């Protein structure tokens, strides 16, 4: 085969490869499952005031990667909850259900499920953070653009808890084709570039790890959510 024949064969193979790739991508989009990749992870900080020390915990059945924060310097209730990074408020309000599945009235404590008064922030690139069990209605509104360190509310015990603490999650929603910000896209939280150490809840019945084993040990962290980092 001459040089011209080799060239034509090579170009034909390239064209065929491009057609196949385009077909696969379009087929995935038609199924509602477009391929996505996360953007760079934001420089998340603890969602508390600069210099405060907090105790990070989880428990069996909590969902892997979920964190419960308790203040190390006294009562947790009433302490300011700040945005871990800048972004756009995807949701802010009330969400909780009773034992019979009916919606709970705003401010209800000890519901079957729900964040209670809470906030979810879209940080771009598929990254989200969730904040739950605030004392009362959030200090921000849906679609509001907020900087890192913006006051979101105060630690409370609304929704599915009876103890004052902050429930916190980080999500990479490119992991979940449905983009539900549910179990499938929860990831280990990282603060100031350091993994939190809160991973497994020790239960095979809850995700996304779904492995029976020891519960991640508690951690203590100091907030660097300071003006110079914003």
| pLDDT tens, position by position, 184-201 | 899 999 999 999 999 999
With a cut of 90, say whether residue 179 has pLDDT above it: no
Candidates 57, 96, 102; CA nearest to 76 is 57
pLDDT in tens, 74-113: 999 999 999 999 999 999 999 999 999 999 999 999 999 9
In whole angstroms, give the CA distance from residue 4 to residue 98: 74
Q: What is the mean pLDDT of the chain?
A: 87
Q: What percent of the chain has pLDDT over 70?
A: 84
Contact partners, residue 100, CB within 8 Å, separation at least 6: none
For residue 21, the tally of other CB atoms under 10 A from its CB is 10
Pull the structure tokens for residue 63: 């969902």
pLDDT given for residue 38 in this prediction:
81
In whole angstroms, give the CA distance from residue 136 to residue 117: 6
Candidates 205, 173, 206; CA nearest to 187 is 173
Lowest mean pLDDT among 21-35, 59-73, 150-164, 201-215: 21-35
pLDDT in tens, 203-223: 999 999 999 989 999 999 999
Candidates 152, 149, 153; CA nearest to 229 is 149
Q: Do the beta carbons of residue 192 and residue 153 sit within 8 Å?
A: no
| Sheet strands (E) in 18-86 | 53-57, 67-71, 80-82
Q: Do the beta carbons of residue 189 and residue 173 sit within 8 Å?
A: no
Q: 């996304």: which residue's tokens?
A: 208
Tell if the pTM clears 0.75, that is, is over it.
Answer: yes
Q: Do the beta carbons of residue 84 and residue 44 sit within 8 Å?
A: yes
With a cut of 70, say whether residue 162 has pLDDT above it: yes
Contact partners, residue 201, CB within 8 Å, separation at least 6: 58, 59, 60, 61, 62, 63, 64, 66, 209, 215, 216
Contact partners, residue 172, CB within 8 Å, separation at least 6: 38, 41, 126, 127, 185, 187
Element (H, E) at 56: strand 53-57
Strand partners, 124: 127
DSSP H helices in 64-146: none
């Amino acid at each position: 085969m001459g040089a011209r024949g080799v060239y034509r064969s090579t170009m034909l193979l390239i064209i065929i490869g491009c057609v196949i790739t385009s077909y696969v991508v379009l087929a995935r989009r038609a199924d509602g499952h477009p391929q996505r990749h996360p953007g760079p992870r934001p420089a998340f900080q603890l969602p508390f005031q600069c210099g405060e020390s907090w105790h990070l915990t989880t428990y069996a059945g909590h969902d892997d990667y979920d964190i419960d924060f308790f203040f190390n310097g006294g009562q947790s209730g009433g302490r300011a909850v700040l945005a871990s990074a800048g972004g756009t408020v995807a949701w802010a309000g009330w969400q909780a259900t009773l034992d019979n599945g009916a919606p709970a009235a705003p401010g209800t404590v000890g519901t079957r499920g729900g964040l209670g008064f809470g906030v979810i922030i879209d940080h771009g690139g598929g990254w989200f953070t969730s904040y739950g069990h605030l004392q009362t209605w959030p200090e921000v509104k849906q679609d509001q653009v907020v900087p890192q360190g913006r006051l979101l509310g105060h630690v409370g015990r609304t929704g599915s808890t009876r103890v004052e603490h902050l429930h916190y999650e980080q999500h990479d929603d490119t992991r979940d084709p449905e983009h539900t910000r549910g179990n499938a896209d929860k990831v280990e939280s990282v603060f100031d570039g350091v993994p939190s150490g809160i991973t497994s809840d020790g239960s095979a019945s809850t995700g996304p790890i779904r492995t029976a084993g020891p519960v991640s040990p508690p951690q203590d962290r100091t907030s660097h959510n300071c003006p110079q980092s914003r």
